[in-house]
Structure 1
């Protein structure tokens, strides 16, 4: 009777060992597959957010239509804003803010462009 109990335990343990062997093989295949996948790299940074003021929308429309870098004076002219020192300075500050956020690029001091994708 004891021999039959031991044989039954051996049968159960053999079945468990076979099941664990299949699970181990599945893990090995999964690991191999995961290691073969290309590295996704770092996530892309979120797109810079345009300030809410309507003047920024107008400025961006000017740069999207332009095919060359612009100075604040040219942006004022394109927006039909009076070309006065005060308005030029206000537009320049907005251009610098957009460049600081990565929405525009300042290619040289006072000259801004819209980076094309």
Structure 2
């Protein structure tokens, strides 16, 4: 095989690789657009769920007197729970909120989660695993904690 034949083989392979690269770029662009649309929908659904939770909390006579639940920090925590059906740990919520995951961050958040458990907004099925409480027909009186 002479060098001209080798150059022709290289050119042929280069053309095929260029075509394949263009096809992959098109697929990436299509997938990126689809992902952006799905992420927008997920954000809208999380906002809607969070709004409904806020409305449910403010219309509940026992929760409407609790300023703690109305605070931004607690609403952000509840919005994270609104996006999942399963239980979450403090570190998972820290990640979702974009805050640090050091011990002081997770312990501060865990204290807030325990307050929400005391107010029957969350449940703690097992130590450290928190989930939204299922709505009940009668709600217990909340304890005033900060």
TM-score using structure 2 length: 0.46
CA deviations over 1:34-66 (Å, ceiling 9, x no partner): xxxxxxxxxxx8443461331101000000111
CA pair 106-83 structure 1, distance change in 2 beyond 3 A: same
1:62 aligns with 2:80: yes
8 Å Cα contact 1:71/1:112 also seen in 2: yes
Aligned counterparts, 1:4-15, within 5 A = none
Aligned-pair Cα RMSD in Å: 1.7
Q: What number of residue pairs does the alignment pair up?
A: 73
SS in 2 for 1:97: helix
| Structure 2 portions without partners, runs of 5+ | 1-59, 136-146
Distance 1:79 1:59 in 2: 8
Sort the Cα spacing of 1:50 and 1:107 in 2 relative to 1 into closer, same or farther, 3 A: farther
In structure 1, stretches of 5+ residues that fail to align are: 1-44
Normalised by the size of structure 1, how large is the TM-score?
Answer: 0.57
Distance 2:61 2:120 in 1: 11
Whether the aligned pair in 2 keeps the contact of 1:50 and 1:56 (CA below 8 Å) is no
Greater RCO structure (CA 8 Å; 6+ sep)? 1
* 1:89 corresponds to which of 88, 104, 107: 107
More helix by share: 2
CA distance in 1, matches of 2:116, 2:133: 12
